[in-house]
């Protein structure tokens, strides 16, 4: 009986998630679904802090195994959410990876990669002195320390940092 109810609910969620956009063009996240246990919802995405540190490339792989991508903000509001979320999710972290890279000529905007893995440009608030343009500092970090919270820096991609994964709300993972 319980299995039948769960399957009926699952079919309903899947049907609504496909039908709703066709009718209205956009749907509230609560219609499409919510986040799995251990993930936190903000707007239409689910986030999970990974407190185990990894280098930039390995962090991307960890998120991919979770059916997600390494988080990168698309707005200043999402940037503020990420900084606060990472502060509460880690006790000692000073900075976290974000799924963005800089070029060696140290421009003020970054190339970021969203949950669809398509590139987009984002202009963050940089920590004083960043980006440095130092050779090898092509990966981007989001500071979470109180005196720098929400500001970005460039860093060597091989360093180890905490990170957050992001995936669209409503994805079912068993």
Mean predicted lDDT score pLDDT of the chain: 81
Q: What confidence tens digit (pLDDT) does each residue in 17-67 have? A: 443 344 334 444 344 568 999 999 999 999 999 989 999 999 999 999 999
pLDDT at 170: 84
pLDDT at 45: 95
| Distance of alpha carbon 44 from alpha carbon 34, whole angstroms | 8
Q: What's the confidence (pLDDT) of residue 104?
A: 62
pLDDT score of 171: 65
Residue pair 151/127 in contact (Cβ under 8 Å)? The answer is yes
Mean pLDDT along residues 138-144: 93
pTM of the model: 0.76
């Amino acid at each position: 009986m319980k299995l039948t109810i769960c399957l009926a609910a699952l079919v309903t969620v899947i049907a609504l998630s496909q039908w709703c956009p066709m009718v209205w063009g956009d749907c509230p996240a609560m219609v499409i679904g919510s986040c799995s246990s251990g993930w936190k919802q903000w707007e239409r995405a689910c986030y999970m802090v990974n407190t185990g540190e990894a280098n930039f490339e390995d962090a991307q792989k960890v998120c991919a195994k979770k059916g997600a991508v390494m988080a990168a903000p698309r707005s200043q509001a999402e940037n503020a959410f990420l900084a606060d979320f990472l502060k509460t999710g880690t006790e000692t972290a000073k900075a976290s990876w974000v799924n963005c890279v800089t070029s060696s000529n140290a421009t003020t905007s970054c190339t970021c990669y969203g949950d669809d893995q398509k590139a987009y440009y984002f202009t963050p608030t940089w920590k004083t002195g960043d980006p440095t343009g130092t050779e090898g500092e092509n990966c981007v970090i989001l500071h979470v320390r109180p005196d720098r919270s929400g500001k970005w820096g460039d860093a060597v991609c091989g360093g180890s940092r905490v990170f957050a994964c992001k995936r669209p709300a409503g994805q079912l993972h068993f």
